Amino acid sequence: MKTILQEPFFNCSTLKVAEELLGKVIVRRIGSREISFPITEVEAYDGHADKASHASKGKTLRNAPMFGEAGFWYVYLVYGMHWMLNIVTGSRGYPAAVLIRGAGDMNGPGRAAKALNVTKRFNNRPANRATGLWIEDRGVVVKKSDIKRLPRVGVDYAGPVWAKRKYRFVVV
DNA sequence: TAAGTGATCTCT
DNA sequence: GAGATCACTTAA
């Protein structure tokens, strides 16, 4: 049983989407080939009040996709070399997204994006088959007891309150 | 542990 | 236009 996740799945509480994304499968079509990896680690960025979120400083050209429709990709470059792959959540106008930090054997968001051959070409595009990058539910259920909640990575600048929030979900 | 790397944002 | 800042990786 395969279902491609659509807007209703993502137009929901960001934390809930983040948690439920674990065990789902990210699929990339390159020409006639398809590669896929189960999602193992994610981070939630929820709303303008979240100091760790790009959206906390208001809407800019870069983070505009976060304010858009759920189920769209938000892709950007950090440290001059790594693409970060996020899926937008929540309703239009509410800035939120989930960062894909790990998929398959890959650890670290930069490597996951590299393995999937993701670049800004996917920024602000919908997650569906036509785009060539989407997420499937293949019926795998990750048990609650197999999910670990941890603080997010690299967001100390957000201050102790937000930096300590356990918005990161990992499959153990 | 620290350097590499470049888009983006915030001042002038 | 210049300068600071980064949701990271790799090699040492």
Residue range A65-85, pLDDT digits in tens: 999 999 999 999 999 999 999
Is the CB of A4 less than 7 A from some atom of nucleic acid strand B?
no
Q: Beta carbon of A78 within 7 Å of strand B?
A: yes
pTM: 0.96
Coil vs helix vs strand at A94: coil
pLDDT in tens, A9-35: 999 999 999 999 999 999 999 999 999
Q: Give the domain ranges of chain A.
A: 3-171
Contact A97, A14 (CB under 8 A): yes
Assess whether A75 (CB) lies less than 7 A from strand C. no
Report the distance from CA of residue A21 to the C1' of nucleotide C4 in Å, as an integer: 35
Q: How far is the CA of A106 from the C1' of C4 (A)?
A: 31
Domain A3-171 has CATH 3.40.50.720: no
CA distance A161 to A163: 6
* pLDDT, tens digit, 9 for 90 and up, residues A49-70: 999 999 999 999 999 999 999 9
